[in-house]
Structure 1
Amino acid sequence: MLYMYDRELLLEDFKNIIWALDQIFKRFQAIQSSDDFLKDDIGLEKLDSICMQLINIGEVLKQVDKLTDSKLLVNYPEIDWKKAKGMRDIITHHYFDIDAETIYVVCSEHVPEMKKVIARILIDQGA
């Protein structure tokens, strides 16, 4: 239940996160290792576009916390929401220090899990 929150806005936010996760998944499919991000312009473009979606996700998660007074995401502890939101800050403020291996791990391990959890949140909220 979403208590007194703007349910429609939150559902739209979660749908936007799903869209961003799908974009990451599509762009990541051709990547077999972190080196693939750095070997040519195509890899760098994939890295850039994936980072942009990670920024978007972090920004929306911060908005969700603001809208829900930080009371919704804590009900889904399988995701480290603090790190997911923090990824936005790291990419935005320290882009030239981004480690391709970190982005590779995020995409291969955390993106699929986050999609499952966000899909469950949508179901739990009656979307």
Structure 2
Amino acid sequence: MRTTEERLRDMRDAIDAAFRHLPSGRSDFEADEVVRFFLLKQVEIIGEAAFKISKDFKTAHSEIPWRKIEGTRHILVHDYFDVNWDTLWDIVTLHLEPLRKQVDDLLERLGAG
């Protein structure tokens, strides 16, 4: 079983992977199916890692939008046939950077940065 620190690192690693392959603009995102699905997978990984973190930890660190992260993963995995690419674009361009900072902060507080 993976530890909380490992799960947080999984989240951080998926965010970093998304950033390494983030297209330079929306039109490039729309034109590249492989990149879109790669980014989708990274967001799924982030959500799965978040889902596996204990409820107690999530309650103690409510500054992270755990439910939104988990809910997004649920939609992407179970409603895969109806992915909203606008939402995915917003997630990777607007929400991953602040989440990366929050995850880094948690890892630092845990002494696992």
* Structure 1 gap ranges (5+): 1-5
Cα pair distance change 1:87/1:26, threshold 3 Å: same
Cα displacement (A) at 1:74: 3.3
**Match of 2:38?**
49
Residue 17 of structure 2 is aligned to residue 32 of structure 1: no
**Match of 1:3?**
none
State how many pairs are aligned. Answer: 112
Larger radius of gyration: 1
CA–CA separation in structure 2 for the residues paired with 1:78 and 1:63: 17
* Structure 2 gap ranges (5+): none
Report Cα offsets for 1:42-69 as digits up to 9, x if no partner. x1111101111111111111110xxx3x
User: Which secondary structure does the structure 2 equivalent of 1:72 belong to?
Assistant: helix
User: Which secondary structure does the structure 2 equivalent of 1:57 belong to?
Assistant: helix
CA–CA separation in structure 2 for the residues paired with 1:74 and 1:36: 38
Contact 1:76 1:117 in 2 (8 A): no
Cα displacement (A) at 1:76: 3.6
In the superposition, the TM-score normalised over structure 1's length comes to: 0.79
What percentage of residue pairs aligned between the two structures are identical?
24
